[in-house]
Amino acid sequence: MSGAKNSSHGPGGGAIFNRRAKFDYTTGDELKVGLELSGKKVRAARDGRVQLKGAFVTTRGGQLWLNNASFSVRLNEKNSPSTTVDTSPVRLLATRKQILSLISEKDKKGVTIVPLRLLTKGKWIKLVIALGKGKKSYDKREVIKKRDLEREERRENQR
């Protein structure tokens, strides 16, 4: 299964999805938060050169941090179109009330904060996060089985 890929709607459009998150986690309510990005990371996000697979959100010092998100930033060297991958933590911008409610929910056993998609359309770059509880392997197998059955039904209906 190659469902781990992130997709984008081309440069400057739409969103970058973490398709693996919905497969690995049962998610709750979604929350849109801002990101504190440098200019190079903003350019990478606008161009769709960000990967959220394997990314997660942690709390440090009463703040939310996005860890392990891969930004393919361009190097500003002359005659060099090369890029490098920047996975340094990015601070997320949310209200104190939102952060405290997420931290209190996160303290429950088996719950984590998962990034779902990066919205790049419009003036601001936003990240959609949600509380997620890890799925068991048998739950994942059921999802795969259900998806295969639906695919077979569509094929039969097209004939």
Report the CATH number at residue 57: 2.40.280.10
Over residues 87-140, the pLDDT tens digits come to 788 899 989 998 888 888 877 777 888 999 899 888 899 999 988 887 777 777
Token reading at 131: 């509380």
In a domain, 1, yes or no: no
Burial of 44 (0-12, 13-18, 19+ CB in 10 A): buried
Whether residue 3 has pLDDT greater than 60: no
In a domain, 23, yes or no: yes
Please tell me the distance from the alpha carbon of residue 35 to that of residue 40, in angstroms, as a whole number.
Answer: 13
Domain of 58 in residue numbering reads as: 15-158
How far apart are the two ends of the chain, measured CA to CA in Å? 25
Whether residue 35 has pLDDT greater than 60: yes
Whether residue 24 has pLDDT greater than 60: yes
Place of tokens 């039969």: 156
Q: What is the pLDDT of residue 146?
A: 84
Q: Would you place residue 156 in the very low, low, confident or very high pLDDT band (cuts 50, 70, 90)? A: confident
Q: What is the pLDDT of residue 78?
A: 62
Question: What separation in angstroms does the CA of 8 have from each of 15, 74, 113, 119, 158?
Answer: 6, 18, 22, 10, 28
In a domain, 153, yes or no: yes
Over residues 45-94, the pLDDT tens digits come to 888 888 888 888 888 888 999 998 888 887 766 656 677 777 788 899 98
According to DSSP, the β-strands at 111-119 and 25-35 are: unpaired
Please tell me the distance from the alpha carbon of residue 113 to that of residue 62, in angstroms, as a whole number.
Answer: 14
Paired residues of 93 in beta bridges: 34
Please tell me the distance from the alpha carbon of residue 154 to that of residue 142, in angstroms, as a whole number.
Answer: 18
3-state SS assignment for residue 101: helix
Burial track 106-145 (b if 16+ CB lie within 10 A, e otherwise): eeeeebebbbbbbebeeeebbbbbbbbeebeeeeeeeeee
In a domain, 44, yes or no: yes
How many domains would you assign to the chain? 1
Whether residue 9 has pLDDT greater than 50: no
Q: What is the pLDDT of residue 49?
A: 86
Residue 42 vs residue 81, higher pLDDT: 42
Q: What is the pLDDT of residue 30?
A: 87
Q: What is the pLDDT of residue 32?
A: 92
Residue 5 vs residue 120, higher pLDDT: 120
Please tell me the distance from the alpha carbon of residue 84 to that of residue 41, in angstroms, as a whole number.
Answer: 11
In a domain, 2, yes or no: no
Q: What is the pLDDT of residue 34?
A: 92
